[in-house]
């Protein structure tokens, strides 16, 4: 039951992030188009003031457009989904920690996953195969729990 609630919360949070991300993306794209149009207008105005269209003016305009692209690409990076680092994920479930505990060997697991492993498979660390004793009070402290 708790697991389903966590999954639904995660889905809702992700959908909320996606919606906000889509809105920011639309705003950025709109602003980028406006900036490009302004640069193009500025170039057209400069060309109408001078008789010749110099290579230098064209190069300057092209460089400004490239710089604008780089700026907007850098800003858009914040809205791209990224991979969750391994150190934030349980080695058994491969999901993000909610209630991490640390085994004597220093490997961190999701509390429910390691307890299920201990109850079903045996009292040993699934990665290092070292023996694990349960029942320690310190073993279940949130975030810094240690199984001993």
Q: Is the pLDDT of residue 139 over 70?
A: no
Instruction: Record the pTM.
Output: 0.58
What value does the mean pLDDT of the chain take? 84
Q: What pLDDT, on a 0 to 100 scale, did the predictor assign at position 7?
A: 82
Q: Is 79 exposed, middle or buried (0-12, 13-18, 19+ CB in 10 A)?
A: middle
CA geometry: angle 74, 19, 72, nearest 5 deg = 15
Q: Does domain 86-146 have CATH number 3.30.40.10?
A: yes
pLDDT digits (tens, 9 = 90+) for 2-58: 778 888 888 999 899 999 999 999 999 999 999 999 999 988 888 878 766 677 778
Strand partners, 101: 109, 145
List the domain boundaries for the chain. Answer: 2-79, 86-146
Residue 11 to residues 1, 18, 88, Cα–Cα distance (Å): 16, 10, 18
Nearest to 113 by CA among 128, 127, 99: 99
pLDDT tens digits, 53-106:
677 778 888 999 999 999 999 988 888 888 889 999 999 999 889 889 988 888
Residue 140 has pLDDT above 60, yes or no: no
């Amino acid at each position: 039951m708790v697991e389903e609630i966590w999954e639904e919360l995660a889905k809702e949070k992700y959908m909320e992030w996606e919606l906000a991300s889509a809105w920011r993306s639309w705003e950025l794209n709109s602003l980028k188009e406006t900036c490009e149009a302004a640069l193009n207008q500025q170039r057209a105005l400069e060309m109408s003031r001078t008789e010749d269209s110099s290579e230098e003016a064209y190069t300057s305009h092209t460089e400004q457009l490239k710089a604008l692209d780089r700026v907007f690409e850098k800003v858009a990076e914040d809205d791209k989904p990224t991979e969750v680092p391994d150190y934030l994920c349980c080695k058994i479930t491969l999901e993000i920690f909610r209630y991490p505990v640390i085994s004597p060997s220093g490997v961190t697991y999701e509390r429910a996953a390691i307890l299920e492993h201990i109850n079903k498979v045996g009292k040993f660390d699934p990665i290092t195969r070292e023996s694990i004793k349960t029942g320690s009070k310190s073993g279940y402290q949130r975030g810094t729990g240690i199984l001993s």
